[in-house]
Amino acid sequence: MRPVRRPTLAIGSVSVSVSAMDRRILHVDIDAFLASVEQLRDPALFGRPVAVGTGVVASRSYEAKARGVHTAMPLHEALRRCPDLVVREGDSRLAERYRQRVAEVIGRFSPVVEACSLDDFYADLTGVPLRIEQALASTVTVDAERSLGPLCRQLRAAVRAETGLSVAQGLGSTRTVARLATTKAKPGGICEVPAGRELDFLAGFPVEALPGVGPQASGLLHAVGVRTVRELWAVDRELLRRSFGARGDEIWRRCRGLDDAPVLASPALRSISRETSFEPRAEVGSQERPFLRAMLAYLLDRAASELRRLQLCARTVQVRVGHVDGVRAERSRALPAATDRTDEFVAAAGGLLEHLLGRRVLVRLVGVTLASLVAPGPAQGRLFDDGDAARRRLFAAVDAVRARHGFGALVVGGAAGLLGKLPRGPHGFRLRTPSLAK
């Protein structure tokens, strides 16, 4: 259906601008993000109605949605509608690690990825399909240039394989069009708005679906009988400006698919952290030095294997300790050269831990951070002596075994001190604050 042409709407200039705009922006939204993270952490929750939140529902699984549970609903109302709803508080650190993994996957498909809110991203795919098709084969089909569908399906499969999460994707020539396209793709789908079809696509949305139109603005618009984007086209630009200030102008452009705000790359990953907490009075042996040293080695091994997976090296290692009285302390140390070897991190961090254990108060938390991340360069490669090369081959072999059989398949060096003291599964030791599984 074509949009109704109204005299106040300069359709001619609109279509000219749109055809001149050949940007392709992808919006990616993780389906039921926090609830899915809980299901991944505890597979017994798969297929069950799950909600995450305290007080109100922050995220719900699609099983819960089918039972009438919605985001922002008070939990007592959610439990009334769905008495067997599993309610969890969520784990923001674990969620952040999943989010980073999704961002990394998207980053393989686009040079510019912007992490937006907790669970969505924009990526600029302008000019990308051509490059990818050329890299895969010498022939470039017209269809491949026109549609990014195949690329989005690859992206979806990669996110699923590497994180277990499901994503919905929207594609369009502007951020607004891409974002709204995603709403049509939930859950798990792909909605692509071809260039030149932006107005048809936007026409039927309610005005409050537009970014920037909050409850106040939509209330005002509803009061004057403007409920859909099509009806919004009839409202004079000056009137929008007078009613909503600078935002009025934004709304005027967005509802026509004219917003040209770019996708801004989020700052690159600056550090990799792992930490865990324990119940010092209940967990026998958790206060002994060998146990704490072994835990440190284990956390460093987890962080270092993530570092190697990302093909990065770190120059700084930081150790932090939290005590039962709430006091936290940290120490860091710069290494002589950037490395990705677990054993070098463990050697550097051991002394730091000893310093931090000077207080005679029970330890409740141990954490590590690898920072000053760099890509291993050729100049650095020349500095590696033979012993280093052998060690690096060893860790490459360790990583390969773990990629096949799970992180828990091998216990490296100092972490062996945890054997028999902590329960262990295919993805490693079971910690109270779990590291990202797999």
CB of 193 to Mg ion, least distance (A): 19
Q: What is the helix (H) or strand (E) element at residue 356, kind and residue range?
A: helix 342-356
**259: CB partners within 8 A, 6+ apart:** 174, 175, 176, 250, 253
Q: Treating both helix axes as pointing N-terminal to C-terminal, what angle do 92-107 and 149-163 enclose, rounded to 10 degrees?
A: 140
Nearer to Mg ion, 119 or 344 (CB): 119
Interface of this chain with Mg ion, residues 28 to 87, rule: CB under 5 A:
29
Four-residue CA torsion sign, 57, 62, 65, 71: positive
CB of 162 to Mg ion, least distance (A): 18
Nearer to Mg ion, 179 or 402 (CB): 179
CB of 185 to Mg ion, least distance (A): 11
Order across the sheet with 313-323: list the strands. 271-277, 363-374, 313-323, 328-339
Nearer to Mg ion, 64 or 422 (CB): 64
Site size with Mg ion, rule: CB under 5 A: 2
CB of 179 to Mg ion, least distance (A): 12
Determine if 192 is a binding residue for Mg ion (CB under 5 A). Answer: no
Nearer to Mg ion, 29 or 344 (CB): 29
User: Which of these segments, 118-126, 134-142, 156-164, 362-370, binds Mg ion (CB under 5 A)?
Assistant: 118-126
Nearer to Mg ion, 185 or 363 (CB): 185
Q: Cis omega before residue 423 (within 30°)?
A: no
How far, in Å, CA of 251 to CA of 300, rounded?
49
CB of 167 to Mg ion, least distance (A): 9
Nearer to Mg ion, 190 or 303 (CB): 190
Catalogue the long-range contacts made by 214-218 (C-beta closer than 8 Å, 24 or more residues apart).
Answer: 217/243, 217/244, 217/247, 217/251
How far, in Å, CA of 107 to CA of 114, rounded?
9
Which residue bears the tokens 């909605």? 191
Interface of this chain with Mg ion, residues 200 to 219, rule: CB under 5 A:
none
Interface of this chain with Mg ion, residues 3 to 32, rule: CB under 5 A:
29
Please check whether residue 365 is in contact with residue 277, taking contact to mean a CB–CB distance below 8 angstroms: yes
User: Which of these segments, 82-90, 112-120, 328-336, 424-432, binds Mg ion (CB under 5 A)?
Assistant: 112-120
- Burial category of 393 from C-beta neighbours within 10 Å (exposed 0-12, middle 13-18, buried 19 and up): exposed
CB of 35 to Mg ion, least distance (A): 10
User: Which of these segments, 4-12, 111-119, 170-178, 298-306, binds Mg ion (CB under 5 A)?
Assistant: 111-119
Nearer to Mg ion, 34 or 240 (CB): 34
Task: Tell me which residue of 296, 341, 288, 289 sits closest to 431, measured CA to CA.
Answer: 296
Determine if 119 is a binding residue for Mg ion (CB under 5 A). Answer: yes
How far, in Å, CA of 172 to CA of 46, rounded?
33
CB of 231 to Mg ion, least distance (A): 28
Nearest residue to Mg ion, by Cβ distance, number only: 119
Nearer to Mg ion, 119 or 275 (CB): 119
Type of residue found at 339? T
How far, in Å, CA of 410 to CA of 29, rounded?
35
Nearer to Mg ion, 158 or 226 (CB): 158
User: Which of these segments, 14-22, 114-122, 204-212, 213-221, binds Mg ion (CB under 5 A)?
Assistant: 114-122
Contact set with Mg ion (CB under 5 A): 29, 119
